[in-house]
Amino acid sequence: MGAPDTAIKSTVVETIGLEAVPQSQQNTPWFRYMFIQIAISANAGNFLIPALAVLKGNLSFLAAVIATSLGAIFGFVFVSLLSYPGSVYGIPAQYAIRTMLGVKGARYLSSPIRSITSLYWFSVQTIGGTYVLQQLLVRLTGKEYPFLIFSVPLSILMVVLAIIGFEAVKRATTYFLPLLLLGEGTMLYLYFTTNEASRSLFTLPVNESHGSIGMMIFFASLAFVQYVSGVSASADMTRYAKTPKQGAVGLFLGNTFGFFITAILGCASAYLYQDSNPYVSSSSITDSPLFLTIITLTAIISMLSINLSNAYTGGYSLLNTFSGLSRIQSAVIFGVSGVILSSVPTLVTHAEKFVSALGGLIIPISAVIVVDFIFIKKRRLSEESLLTLQEKGSLYRMPLLTVLGGSIIYFMIPDSYSPGFITFFAIGILYYLLAKKSN
Three-state secondary structure along 401-418? Answer: HHHHHHHHHHHHCCHHHC
Q: How confident is the model over 315-342, as a mean pLDDT? A: 92
Q: What pLDDT, on a 0 to 100 scale, did the predictor assign at position 199?
A: 56
Mean of the per-residue pLDDT values of the chain: 89
Q: Which residues contact 106 (CB under 8 A, 6 or more apart)?
A: 94, 95, 97, 98, 100, 320
> Do the domain assignments include residue 229?
yes
Q: How confident is the model over 380-405, as a mean pLDDT? A: 88
| Residue 16 predicted with pLDDT over 60 | yes
- The DSSP bridge partners found for residue 197 are none
Q: What is the dihedral of CA 421, 427, 428, 431, to 10 degrees?
A: 180
* Whether 122 contacts 310, CB under 8 Å: yes
Q: How many domains does the chain have?
A: 1
| pLDDT, tens only, 239-253 | 999 999 999 999 999
| Residue 166 predicted with pLDDT over 50 | yes
Query: Could you tell me where the DSSP H helices lie in 194-241?
Result: 213-228, 234-237
* pLDDT tier at 290, thresholds 50, 70, 90: very high
- The DSSP bridge partners found for residue 241 are 28
* Whether 82 contacts 236, CB under 8 Å: no
Does an H or E element contain 68, and which? helix 61-81
| Residue 5 predicted with pLDDT over 70 | no
> Do the domain assignments include residue 422?
no
* Whether 278 contacts 47, CB under 8 Å: yes
Q: How confident is the model over 397-408, as a mean pLDDT? A: 95
> Do the domain assignments include residue 57?
yes
> Do the domain assignments include residue 378?
no
- The DSSP bridge partners found for residue 28 are 241
> Do the domain assignments include residue 416?
no
Q: What is the CA radius of gyration of the chain?
A: 22
CB atoms within 10 A of CB 423: 26
Q: Which of 20-34, 91-105, 130-144, 412-426 has the lowest mean pLDDT?
A: 130-144
| Residue 33 predicted with pLDDT over 80 | yes
> Do the domain assignments include residue 113?
yes
Amino acid letter, 57: G
Q: What pLDDT, on a 0 to 100 scale, did the predictor assign at position 195?
A: 53
| Residue 437 predicted with pLDDT over 50 | yes
| Residue 6 predicted with pLDDT over 50 | no
| pLDDT, tens only, 80-107 | 999 999 999 999 999 999 999 999 999 9
Q: Is the pTM of this model over 0.85?
A: yes
With b meaning 16 or more CB within 10 Å and e meaning fewer, what string describes 316-346?
Answer: bbbbbbeeebebbbbbbbbbebbbebbbebe
Q: How confident is the model over 154-159, as a mean pLDDT? A: 89
Q: Which of 27-31, 94-98, 172-176, 372-376 has the lowest mean pLDDT?
A: 172-176
Q: What pLDDT, on a 0 to 100 scale, did the predictor assign at position 105?
A: 93
| Residue 156 predicted with pLDDT over 50 | yes
Q: What pLDDT, on a 0 to 100 scale, did the predictor assign at position 139?
A: 80
Amino acid letter, 113: I
Q: How confident is the model over 397-412, as a mean pLDDT? A: 95
Q: What pLDDT, on a 0 to 100 scale, did the predictor assign at position 356?
A: 74
Does an H or E element contain 433, and which? helix 419-438
> Between residues 104 and 349, which one has the greater pLDDT?
104
| Residue 60 predicted with pLDDT over 60 | yes
| Residue 289 predicted with pLDDT over 80 | yes
* pLDDT tier at 203, thresholds 50, 70, 90: low
CA dist list (Å): 157 to 13, 23, 120, 166, 298: 15, 30, 17, 15, 16
Domain that holds residue 175: 18-197+207-357
Q: How confident is the model over 40-47, as a mean pLDDT? A: 88
* pLDDT tier at 3, thresholds 50, 70, 90: very low
Q: Give the separation between CA 193 and CA 201, rounded to whole angstroms.
A: 8
Amino acid letter, 387: L
> Do the domain assignments include residue 44?
yes
We report the CATH number of the domain holding residue 274 as 1.10.4160.10
* Whether 239 contacts 26, CB under 8 Å: yes
* pLDDT tier at 9, thresholds 50, 70, 90: very low
| pLDDT, tens only, 302-321 | 989 998 899 999 999 999 99
Nearest to 238 by CA among 383, 98, 73, 30: 30
Q: Which residues contact 368 (CB under 8 A, 6 or more apart)?
A: 100, 101, 399, 402, 403, 406, 427, 428, 431
Q: How confident is the model over 164-174, as a mean pLDDT? A: 89
| Residue 202 predicted with pLDDT over 60 | no
CA dist list (Å): 376 to 109, 117, 369, 421, 439: 21, 27, 10, 21, 10
> Do the domain assignments include residue 7?
no
CB atoms within 10 A of CB 253: 18
- For residue 58, the Cα-to-chain-centroid distance in whole angstroms is 26
State what percent of residues in the chain have pLDDT above 90: 62
CA dist list (Å): 8 to 12, 14, 15, 17, 22: 7, 11, 12, 18, 18
CA dist list (Å): 194 to 191, 201, 283, 306, 392: 6, 9, 12, 29, 62
